[in-house]
Amino acid sequence: MPGKINSFVSSPRAALDKALTGFLALHPALRWHKDHNVIYRGDKDRQDRVTVLSGGGSGHEPAHAGYVGERMLDAAVCGAVFASPNALQIESGLRLIQSPRGVLIIVKNYTGDKLNFTLAAERFRFASGVPVRIVVVADDVSISRTNSALVGRRGLAGTVLAHKIAGAAAHARLSLDEVADAVEFSLANMATIGVGLDSCSLPGQSHQSRLEPDEIELGIGIHNEPGSKRLKPQPTLEALVGDMLRNILDANDEERGYLKEPPCAADHDIVLLVNNLGGLSMLEMVVITGEVVSQLDTNYRLKPIRLFTGTFLSALNGPGFSITILVLPKNELISPKIIEWLDAPTDALGWTSSISSETWRISPCPSDARSSEPAALEPLEKSYDVPNFACDGVLFTSIVKSIHASLTEAEPEITRMDTIMGDGDCGTTLLDGSNAVVTALDDGRVKVDSISQGMMEVANAISRHMGGTSGALYAVFFTALASAICAEHGRHTMVTATDLAQAAKTALGKLKQVTAAREGDRTMMDALIPFVETLEVAFLDDKAPLEAFGHAVAVANVGCESTSKLKPRFGRSTYVLAEGVNDATQDIPDPGACGVVAIVTGVFEALKVHYSS
């Protein structure tokens, strides 16, 4: 019997549009760039100060749109549920709030976020000449240094404190480097750990419980991924909070002693944030807060000088909470400034003030602040001067349609596997990209009789509509593939199968420049690398195109299946039971690798029809 759908929202895609409509209704001074889902402020004073941009996947409300406001964020770029926005969205956000003083980007340490925000920053910096700094939030202490060596620590609720500090510091007219350095100082002295009773419920999907009734997960993230360790039986709240505080404050733990300076009352002040991951009652939250404050006093002789409790960065309706501690050395001149910036008034919807010695009132925003985007903002979708190299338009079209059919068939199983191993969006993200390409094809925007121009438009469609890490990686690969096709064509009067194989190898090389993942790391590269390398060798051995492609697809399948026995080293699945036996990966291939197989299988099916006709 199927599980109950515990959500009033039936579609994740519709949810984002309605949520942003709701944010604007609650805060009429905000603006919304609908084409790229950017919520931003239209302040006239931004030319005189640094501006601040952040963002990420939806489902973390009030983050990130809820922190757009005076003395906080200038813009938030909103991706699909639990998926990074793409680089074009982010670049649009940067252009909407650009300032000659510079732009600070705050991004959480997740591969897709870092890749897309970095790519957008580089494009924006090159095109505008505006200085940009990126600060990466990595405050999670649940994963040991050994297990986080390659991917680093995740960004959790400490991100919200970084937003507040950055926004107020920028409002105080500090330089870009001064604002970024202040945030980085805070992050070096900040630590967070989360715990959950169960997984969250994704909009439109029935709830799937992954824990026994007497189990909880310690070290959970914010994307529905399992924790680093399961505790059974469920400990008392007192024991649980004690364990969480030890993970944060134990200076003798070489694997988790991440704080720059372990706090002591004589030398440090502390700021405490107790964050609701979305599914706990207010009663539970104040009980938890009381327990945390009590243990800090009794066991560590620490009393927070500022205390924040509430839903700051959620995981949809995740039944859990996290504890964040910011340690401020009393001998540092910046420490009292950070408190001042945390106290600074803001009209951001998601921010809840702590203890303050000053009562303040926010001035109302201008009634016309919701006007349309500035006329000076030019379209991002510029036409590129791509050479026109002819190809078989019927074959091009059939390949696109065949890939779409293959991904549509594979999506439910890929989604099921990714729900177990990650955040459940891999299959839908791949299908989003495929839908965008097919729509562009049907609308006539893909020039099917030009292999060069057609491939570039495929890459553009993926860039605009496919979020997350996989969207960025596929955008890089297909953009590089289109470019390489043009380069290879210069050697012949027509594009040959060997040219395409060489172009794929070149594109793979470009992809390797933006990701350190290789074969054996349990990612899409376990299928893509052997496919491309086998295809090249097959054509060098003068195999017929259909035979060569079929052999490469078979090798990609083998690479994909091999991931079922591999321990993840990249992506969110890295954190699944990282501190225990990683039995969650047993016999489950990597969803990203399965996506690659579905794509190349779709191409192969189209080629079989073509060569048999």
Query: pLDDT tens digits, residue range 184-230?
Result: 999 999 999 999 999 888 887 777 778 888 999 999 989 878 788 99
What are the CA-CA distances from residue 5 to residues 15, 81, 166, 204, 426 (Å)? Answer: 15, 16, 39, 6, 20
Active site residue 223: yes
Tokens of 50: 């640094």
* Nearest CA-CA partner of 573 in 232, 228, 231, 255: 228
Q: Which CATH number applies to 12-343?
A: 3.40.50.10440
CB 162 within 8 A of CB 64: no
Which residues of the chain form CATH 1.25.40.340? 393-612
Q: Are 168 and 341 in contact (CB under 8 A)?
A: yes
Q: Please state, in angstroms and rounded to a whole number, the distance separating the CA atoms of residues 346 and 360.
A: 10
Rounded CA-CA distance 97/78 in Å is 15
Nearest Cα residue to 368 out of 42, 8, 89:
42
- Give the torsion through C-alpha atoms of 204, 210, 213, 216, to 10 deg: -110
Residue 108 main-chain phi, psi, to 5 deg = -80, 155
Q: Which of 223-227, 322-326, 466-470, 570-574 has the lowest mean pLDDT?
A: 570-574
Average pLDDT, the chain: 88
* Contact (CB, 8 A) for 568 and 590: yes
pLDDT at res. 556 = 97
CA distance 60 to 82: 8
Residue whose entry in the numeric block shows the structure tokens 């209704």: 25
Choose, from 60, 223, 465, 489, the residue flagged as catalytic: 223
Intervals of CATH 3.40.50.10440 along the chain:
12-343
Cβ of 513: how many Cβ atoms within 10 Å? 9
Confidence of residue 367 (pLDDT cuts 50, 70, 90): very low
d(CA 251, CA 263) in angstroms, rounded, equals 9
Q: Does the pLDDT at position 85 exceed 90?
A: yes
| Cα dihedral 199, 204, 208, 210 sign | negative
Evaluate if pTM is beyond 0.95.
Answer: no
> Angle, to 10 degrees, between the axis of helix 545-562 and the axis of helix 497-514?
30
How do residues 455-506 score in pLDDT, each as one tens digit? 989 988 998 888 778 888 998 899 888 888 877 555 455 678 888 899 999 9
Radius of gyration of the chain (CA): 25
pLDDT digits (tens, 9 = 90+) for 29-76: 999 999 999 999 988 888 999 999 999 999 999 999 999 999 999 999
**CA atoms of 148 and 283, how far apart (whole Å):** 35
User: What CATH number has the domain spanning 393-612?
Assistant: 1.25.40.340
Band of pLDDT at residue 403, cut at 50, 70 and 90: very high
Question: 575 to each of 221, 319, 415, 523, 582, how far by Cα in Å?
Answer: 8, 19, 18, 14, 10
